[in-house]
Structure 1
């Protein structure tokens, strides 16, 4: 159950398991990159691979967003009208910008609030 002070123990266990899986996955990516000479960029990243994760997300966010929204209805919106291009244009369906880019503020919205 959920304790107001300590939080949800099961949720913490799931988050720890997820974090360990991410460390393993990004550890494998790091090993492959180090074979290709990219090790210097991530040398001080430690076992959490935060810089590598950030770079991976920057390189893949558009494809991940397409995958997340592929089954969204054409008229899907966030809880309010979604805008792109510094607030100048609205999304044209499936919560996507006209250019196909991800609305930038979605990076900072918890996943459970997106759907």
Structure 2
């Protein structure tokens, strides 16, 4: 899942031949978030996200960036889905037993308008560990 990759929590299970690509991806993400950190203007923010031995990969910054941008990322990767735009399981709604499928561009219906045009990320399990999904 892209959120796990951005946050540095992807398990990267599967093809062991891709390990070189995984290392390259993780290094690129660290570089990207280091650049974001270097361009922070607010000293309090810099102090909050300071790189140290406990957070060498800017994981706190990555986590907060994902929280702030996940809807935009989801919209960007689903905006032109022509086929296969049904999410693989019922994910719209807050109750797993009454959830519905996200059928139009992988988006949930807006409760007020009834249209499938919300930017809600249709996953109530975004922060559930991968091995439990």
TM-score (ref. length: structure 1)? 0.72
Unaligned runs of at least 5 residues, structure 2: 1-14, 110-117
Residue by residue over 1:63-104, the C-alpha shift from the partner in whole angstroms, topping out at 9 and shown as x without a partner, is 000011012138721223332233445335211123421023
- Is 1:8 the counterpart of 2:1? The answer is no
Higher relative contact order (CA 8 A, sep 6+): 2
Name the CA shift for 1:47/1:77 in 2 (closer, same or farther; >3 Å): same
User: Matches of residues 16-31 of structure 1 in structure 2 within 5 Å?
Assistant: 16-31=23-38
Quote how far apart the aligned CAs of 1:56 are. Answer: 0.3
**Distance of 1:56 and 1:96 partners within structure 2:** 21
Quote how far apart the aligned CAs of 1:36 are. Answer: 1.9
TM-score (ref. length: structure 2)? 0.63
More helix by share: 1
SS class of match (1:71): coil
Aligned length: 102
**Distance of 1:102 and 1:61 partners within structure 2:** 7
